[in-house]
Amino acid sequence: MTNLIEKSLLLGFGIFTISIFSTILIPFLGKIAVFNQNEYRSLESYTIFINEVDIGITNVVQHPNEPFLRVIDYPDNLNITFYDNFAKYEFILEEKIYVKFYEYNTSFINRCFYQIPVQTYLLNISQQSTLTSVNFINLH
């Protein structure tokens, strides 16, 4: 009988310990889930932005007489450099710096976009003589 009482006390203490532990950890698990979801959204916003610029540049290369205009949301912590025939995108995500290079069959007017505020801009890509010009025009 004593053995059965010891087992039930140990089981009850284990359940009590798990319930205390879970009440402490559940709020933190929610914050971790929200953090991971926000990180995924910011990675998605960088990818969408870079793809929009890439589509615009490709469109202007194929149709040099037609400028490419599109309203676009500029993401946070994104630096862009256009030089020679390269586009360099740098962004910070989860305290790491990511760099993406894109190479094109056109030469760019050398431009750097650093520390641009998060806003909605008009993306203007056009061909000027033999060089491609990329510009972000503030809408406000």
Q: What pLDDT score does 34 carry? A: 62
Q: How many residues does this entry show for the chain?
A: 140
Please say if the pLDDT value at position 14 is more than 80: yes
CA angle, 77 then 112 then 131, to 5°: 135
Structural domain of 68: 2-138
Which residue has tokens 């740098």? 90
pLDDT (tens digit per residue) in 80-107: 999 989 999 999 887 788 899 999 988 9
Global pTM reads 0.69
110 neighbors 87 (Cβ within 8 angstroms): no
pLDDT (tens digit per residue) in 23-82: 887 777 666 666 555 555 677 888 889 999 999 999 998 988 899 999 998 888 889 999
Q: What pLDDT score does 110 carry? A: 92
Cβ-proximal residues to 86 (8 Å cutoff; 6+ apart), any chain: 101, 102, 103, 104, 108
Question: How many structural domains are present in the chain?
Answer: 1
